[in-house]
Amino acid sequence: MSQGPFRLEPRVAIVTGAAMGIGFGIARAFVDAGARVLMADLDADALRAAAARLPKEQVGTVVVDVATDGCGEQLVSACLDRFGRLDVLVNNAGIYPQKPMLEMPMAMFDRVWRVNVRGLVDASCAAGRQFIKAGRGGSIINISSIDSLHPSMVGLAAYDCTKGAVNMFTRSLALELALHRVRVNAIAPGGITTEGTKRPFARSGMSPEQMERVMADFARKVPLGRMGVPEDIAWPAVFLASDAAAYITGAVLVVDGGVLLS
């Protein structure tokens, strides 16, 4: 199947947080576009189950907590061991605990920062070094959020500031690595229905019907009339990883069904 400049074969990508949600959607779309993908996640059981849903010759897995020291080197060496090359890094792993800032223990703030920013920076630096060594250029895609541009609700101040940092790091690293033909871009999703966004409702004891009603209320506020699904983020990620985006670097692509317009 030809997809012209959107085809990712023979590229190899690392996707963090790939066991579910947006990360799994990206891994699946990359595989459909011809890439081979190292799926990384801290949830070993969910990761195994997710990888089993994709063609085994095109995927590998590594269990890693991106908040740990040395996670970047661990990701890159697992990828080289499995596939022998690296072309794309998707920094998707992220957490969004909801708690008003004045009630948030600093340990929780530190964890959000370590996962959403420090892990992404560590992985980007390790991938950047590998891209330069291989001399073929490369692409880094950071999953930010529309909350990096406008707060959506009370309880996400810690999260929102990490995503603001992701946008600025994306632009600064894009400038630093352009000389090496390494492109660095971000995607800022709006509300996407995932395991993670359903979790707080499930914890509150809501029935599936109640959850459906709350989601339908959210959807009515989206100009395009529906919540996003992981594929809405996955195909723009394929685009940014591909030659179709060869002249795009330092961009923050908003993918939100028009929410920021309203």
Ligand X SMILES: NC(=O)c1ccc[n+]([C@@H]2O[C@H](COP(=O)([O-])OP(=O)(O)OC[C@H]3O[C@@H](n4cnc5c(N)ncnc54)[C@H](O)[C@@H]3O)[C@@H](O)[C@H]2O)c1
Residues taking part in catalysis: 159
Q: What does the alpha-carbon distance between residue 177 and residue 184 come to, in Å, rounded to a whole number?
A: 8
Structure tokens at 81: 């061991």
What's the closest the beta carbon of residue 174 comes to ligand X, in angstroms?
19
Residues near ligand X (CB under 6 A) = 16-17, 19-23, 41-43, 46, 64-67, 92-96, 115, 143, 145, 189, 191-192, 194-197
Nearest to 31 by CA among 47, 46, 17, 51: 51
What's the closest the beta carbon of residue 135 comes to ligand X, in angstroms?
29
Contact 140, 182 (CB under 8 A): yes
Contact 262, 190 (CB under 8 A): no
What's the closest the beta carbon of residue 181 comes to ligand X, in angstroms?
26
What's the closest the beta carbon of residue 234 comes to ligand X, in angstroms?
11
How wide is the angle at C-alpha 71 spanned by C-alphas 69 and 76, nearest 5°?
A: 145
Backbone phi, then psi, for 141, in 5-degree steps?
A: -125, 120
**Distance of alpha carbon 21 from its chain centroid, rounded?**
10
Nearer to ligand X, 178 or 222 (CB): 222
Nearer to ligand X, 63 or 178 (CB): 63
**203, containing H or E segment:** helix 195-203
Q: What does the alpha-carbon distance between residue 190 and residue 115 come to, in Å, rounded to a whole number?
A: 20
